Amino acid sequence: MSRLLRPASRLVSSSAARPVNVRSAFQSFPRVPAIVQSRGYAKESGVKEYTVRDALNEALAEELELNPKVFVLGEEVAQYNGAYKVTKGLLDRFGDKRVIDSPITESGFAGLTVGAALAGLHPVCEFMTFNFAMQAIDQIINSAAKTHYMSGGIQPCNITFRGPNGFASGVAAQHSQDYSAWYGSIPGLKVVTPWSAEDAKGLLKAAIRDPNPVCVLENELLYGQTFPMSEAAQKDDFVLPFGKAKIERAGKDLTIVTLSRCVGQSLVAAENIKKKYGVECEVINLRSIKPLDVESIVKSVKKTHRLLCVESGFPAFGVGSEILALTMEYAFDYLDGPAQRITGAEVPTPYAQKLEEMSFPNEPLIEAYIAKMLRL
């Protein structure tokens, strides 16, 4: 009986598919096997390797340096150098007026930093992880996101909420959850989801400078990952615009829309798919989910005629649902098959490792699903 509810995806592989144009010898664009393949400047001089942690640290240091109204407040951000060492060295450099250890009181310090923003400062409010921001979500949404509108434009709130979000390993349900869809749904908030070191630096700096409340949803497992950082991105004027996605890998056979940690996973899957089948996936790193770059998605679908969204939140009412709905609204005519999504499983994150692995997207799953979608 419940089989009646089998979703349309079964139809994907059987739907009248535009034959995939498998080309192996005459590809029209260059490919480097590394997952950061589309970074053409990776070999340029002046490029340095940065971890995402270093990039965030540099962004904070530069903004603290440039603007005395900026301060950093959160649990363990100062003396302990940050629970994940993102704020390392900032206390020593900027002193305890600018880099402040808070008691464990998320609702309280989120509210306090919102108040400071209303009064004209530019706080960076760090949550040790966004799991704990649930204690403070009322302040983020009701006090920060809505105030400008409710005041008829009189009262801005320039605040940045940041911290690790999403999958973290071996910490079970209360410490491993992706909140992208939660914040992404709120008018008045801007929400960014960096993947690479450049994303991290450019988006965090833009968040601090943006006159609105911005959530910067980082990922703990990315902090230690290393990426090339261009010379331009190493400068203190480097910012990335919100609402502009980045094509991390060009392709013509399938559009993969993804964010945060899933960008790296999708790039690996895309590379494997190319090796095995000579098929080219285009991987779009959303970078910002509010605003969301619908234009880039539609443009890519016009080219590839197929779309897969890869994200790690709960499936219901999520980022994937939104991408698929937008694709229906704006790109339906260009699709050759139903747009699809890979998401986190609909389950509180289990502790046991093998079960945890079944709860979040990974490279083999993405690869297998692409192969199925494209009937490879």
Partner 1 sequence: MRGATVKSIVGELLGRREGIAYGKGGSMHMFTKGFYGGNGIVGAQVPVGAGLAFAHQYLGKKNASVVLYGDGASNQGQVFEAFNMAKLWNLPVMFGCENNKYGMGTAANRSSALTDYYKRGQYIPGLKVNGMDVLAVKAAVKYARDYTTNGHGPLVLEYVTYRYGGHSMSDPGTTYRTREEIQRMRSTQDPIAGLKHKLLEWNVTTEEELKQIDKDARSDVDKEVAEAEQMAPPEPTPKNLFEDIYVRGSEPQFMRGRTPDENYYY
Ligand X SMILES: Cc1ncc(C[n+]2csc(CCOP(=O)(O)OP(=O)(O)O)c2C)c(N)n1
- What distance lies between CA 313 and its chain's CA centroid? 11
Burial 3-21 (b: 16+ CB within 10 A, else e): eeeeeeeeebeeeeeeebe
Closer Cβ to partner 1, 29 or 351, answer by number: 351
361 binds, among ligand X, partner 1, none (CB under 5 to 8 A by kind): partner 1
Q: Which two tokens stand for residue 135?
A: 């204690």
| Residue 63 sits in the site that holds ligand X (CB under 6 A) | no
Interaction site with partner 1 (CB under 8 A): 2-3, 5-10, 75-76, 79-80, 83, 101, 103-108, 131-132, 134-135, 170-175, 315-316, 340, 342-348, 350-355, 357-361, 365, 369, 372
Q: Please confirm, yes or no, whether 175 is among the known catalytic residues.
A: yes
For 59, the 3-state DSSP assignment is helix
Q: Please confirm, yes or no, whether 63 is among the known catalytic residues.
A: no
Closer Cβ to partner 1, 67 or 105, answer by number: 105
- Letters for 64-103 (x = contact with ligand X by CB under 6 A, - = none) are -----------x----------------------------
Burial 195-218 (b: 16+ CB within 10 A, else e): bbbbbbbbbbbbbbbbebbbbbbb
In 21-155, the DSSP E strands lie at 48-51, 70-74, 99-101, 122-126
Closer Cβ to ligand X, 54 or 75, answer by number: 75
The candidate with the shortest Cα–Cα distance to 136, out of 151, 150, 149, 125, is 125
**Cβ atoms of 215 and 189 closer than 8 Å:** yes
Q: Which of 63, 75, 106, 271 is catalytic?
A: 106
| Residue 114 sits in the site that holds ligand X (CB under 6 A) | no
Among 78, 128, 289, 319, binds ligand X (CB under 6 A): 128
Q: Which two tokens stand for residue 66?
A: 């440039």
Taken as a whole, the chain contains a residue count of 376
354 binds, among partner 1, ligand X, none (CB under 5 to 8 A by kind): partner 1
Q: Which residues bind ligand X (CB under 6 A)?
A: 75, 104, 106, 128, 132, 135
For the annotated catalytic residues, the residue numbers are 106, 175
